[in-house]
Amino acid sequence: MHEVTVGEDVALDAEAVWAVIGDFSGIRKWATLVEAESTEETPEGKVRTLNMPGGRTVKELLADAGPHFYTYTLDRPDMKAYFSTVAVKAAGDGASHIELTVRFMPNEESQLTEISEQLGKFCRGNLKAMKRALGLI
């Protein structure tokens, strides 16, 4: 598996950050591009359905969760595997570290650089949206 990780320390404690970004079923608290969302329990597990601009729908399956992190997976036509993790870790008095990690296996290794750049941009955009929702920018 390949991995792209983006993270940043913020001047809020982990509980305050997690209250905004940590709800798998409440992504619209910070992801303003999501037009609508719903979550349902399925035989495979908890599935989040996101309605995106242009009529695109994304379905994400919660793969793992714990204190201050969750990992989801989704089917992408350009990937053999895709797992995205949102995590918050304490980083001292009143501070925390937000970390977004995507682990993936592209169908074509020749696309690794391009896909890694796209995923880095995706993670940086999400981190910026999270900071905006937290009132940090």
At residue 5 the predicted structure's pLDDT band, cuts being 50, 70 and 90, is very high
50 in Cβ contact with 58 (< 8 Å): yes
pLDDT value, residue 92: 87
pLDDT value, residue 41: 96
Res. 117: pLDDT tops 90 = yes
The share of the chain scoring above pLDDT 90, in percent, equals 98
Average pLDDT across the chain, whole number: 96
pLDDT value, residue 37: 97
The domain made up of 2-27+63-133 has a fold known as Alpha-D-Glucose-1,6-Bisphosphate; Chain A, domain 4 (3.30.530)
User: Rounded distance, CA 55 to CA 65, Å?
Assistant: 29
- Delimit the domains of the chain by residue range: 2-27+63-133
The share of the chain scoring above pLDDT 70, in percent, equals 100
- Does this model's pTM top 0.85? My answer is yes
The CA-atom distances, in angstroms, between 124 and each of 24, 64, 110, 118 are 19, 22, 23, 10
At residue 9 the predicted structure's pLDDT band, cuts being 50, 70 and 90, is very high
Res. 48: pLDDT tops 90 = yes
